[in-house]
Structure 1
């Protein structure tokens, strides 16, 4: 009777109260978060307009040296002066040189006075002359100006942004071109962040952090240094909000990054800041309710514990076993039905572990044998082709090149005979370059090789000599029938997408007809090799045996244009296991 009363009380009173309170609190919290999200989006949209205008003014200011009103042949024209000094047509100690220096310095002073946030302005000409104007005593070294010029030229852009972590300044570097688009030098604007900081402080909420990015990558305004740890993937959009989980907790992230703009504004607002004022009330309400519920059900727990505890022990042991701990055992107490259940569980656990160990060891040995067989099949195939190439070069009376090919072959063969079947990508690329060295000698230097490798994937493991096997097919099937003067070209690209690393090998050979390509793809899917493409099928099988059927080789081709082979492997590094 007591158990029935306790069960009725819990089901009809305690549980409905707890559920109603939880749902009400959740709905209220969700409604408040949605309203704040909409409000933050409006604020960010307005603030972005201010930030975009702020930097657009700076970019427009940097172009003023090329948009002045004077004529190009006028001695006062800045582009004319810079061009004359670059060409060395003016004597250093002449009156004309002095007048030109005064004209350039006057322009820089005017430029500096147009914006309060400008700290310094530098003019760095093509002839390495430096003209500058400052508000403070800090100066930029010629080496740093040369470095920024190099960064600008390598970017291929008209202007770039750079950030100096030491002095907390940002720099806008712009090319100076004459009307015929000839490079004359660069202008560097040193921008203080005090004005931008004040603009952000006036708009942001308490505990809200804001970041301004250039080109969706470089954090040029990040006072809290949050971007390296809290970086998110950005897509071009006018305004967007999302809920992200960070080590500090759940956070509302709002950003504006229009397609046509160089600037991105990102705002982080912890959800804990939204509910800070109601957390105290929530704590006391939950505490009081919890104590009441605890007091009301403690009697039921005490009564049921004696019977439920042994059953829970068996249940917990089963859950542990589900996670792979097959040595789990249950302590047997007594001689009742629950004790018999525990004894049966212990016996089942022991027999299950024995069976799994037998199956696992058998399957592991089978896979290892298949991998070793496939690896051994590839090595003789490569050795035969390479020795044939060396023989051809020697017959052509080119002993030095034959010796160089022999040394490269020795390095490749030594690597091929090592026990490891998986090597880092950077080592695999080194072996591939040795192989391509052999082919370049065969092609009399007319072979064009291009590499595009992401640095963060160089330690990822890949089956040894797999890339070489693919490239062998480029020469055997792609370039063999290619007519001159078309130059043979191979492009190797390695990149990561999430947890998958892709290695693309693209040639400009004769390509593969669609019917033949379908046959090759069918052989890859079936895992069976024919004589002409045994290497490709072996590489495909090695990858799938090692990591599963979701990885392997993909082939696409267009007759007369070329063929692309892609190897997809997991992002596994030495010491890791996928």
Structure 2
């Protein structure tokens, strides 16, 4: 069953094979191209994600470093202000139990100065503290953005911090007393004794809102994949964009600390790293493969959808085009089969198709029409040849029937002429001699003669009528010397002259009127023109139209011997471009014109023989 389907739809159909091959090539090419494109898109998206993430880390690093730098600038400004620095040193060393009034006076002065010099210059600050080493209260809030909000600093942590002189603390959340507090990150620096810098009097602590860190890379937010973090050199979390790792140890700390690379590929994610050696913190960007693949999947689905639609449209258009061309080729094949079977009636191709198939179809159509025309011409020519042969045989039979032993009649006429001379009947003797000459010419078996001989025959014929009618008949010959050597059909002109004598002029009338017959011969364009004109009464218009119509009748009968016979002989020998024409007006006579092909005797004989051979 499958084999039959393949045989019917593929094996025997060239255009179906072409369509299948073309489709396979297109699909294979598209699949390879799409694989290459999607692979490049995946690579590009990874690079792009890493690039954007790196820009975020650089921006975050710059912002966070600026806050630490600001802290150093604030402290340097305090140190440069000796009076204020002295007030801070005294405040850090005085106990509230010793002199309450002095303590409050120093606190008010320090608070006012710090608020003016630090908080007013940076809107990101949320809290400012002074840690009084070995004094009570140890932790003194200088500025709180939200009043009556508990502070987050653990005094014991600060005590340990001073003992270890650790430079970079972790975020507050890892040491907070109050879980409901907002996430903040802290910068600090030590306040030392002006007289002994090795002695730490306290710590200036400044808290910043973590949300302000997010603002530093907000312009990249829509391009960021995954999570952004800031870690200490020990791996503690200072800032976490996702808030997942606060109060926890970062799980990839060992990997980050153990690698010098800025990009680390893990099983499920990519780590982008930016290390700040000056202040000892690490910016980390997590790029989960899941997020990357999600974007890649979205793009790939769009590519696959567009590709599938485009491929379907291409194959559909190819199929339609293939079906159209296949139908046109099948039409050509059907036409060729018709021609092979002898059927030449095939429809012409559409005129608006100018491509190769249209040219082939038009050539097949033209070929069929030419073959048909050639066959028709050969068929008509064969009919004409057979008709000519039939007419010749009929004429030969008619001549044989008419001759009735012409030699016997010729000898008899000669005996009568001699008898007339014996009785002195010279006129009768002359007429018998002329009749004998005419008869002798008629029985010759020549089919073509020179025009000179045909004209002489007509002159002898007219001589008989001149003897009979005397001066009442006048014959005028106006023949160009150029046409006399040309050939013509034997006895072609004599029937026309005879018709003019019998039907054109009025010889039997008892009148002194001179009847004239003019015979002209000349060359006109590519024709040999022979004219026989008379001055008779002419032919009525209705009769003339009837005669002209009868001249076009291709069939002759024995009763149609005169002008119709002459016209038919002309067409049979010379073709349809040559003919006998009649012109007449009542009262102005009649002119019969023969349009012939100007051929020499030899050329005409060869032409007649070639027609006879077919």
Note whether the superposition's TM-score is higher than 0.5: no
TM-score, structure 1 normalization: 0.40
Relative contact order: is structure 1 or structure 2 higher (C-alpha 8 Å, sep ≥ 6)?
Answer: 2
Instruction: Give the structure with higher Rg (CA).
Output: 2
TM-score, structure 2 normalization: 0.38
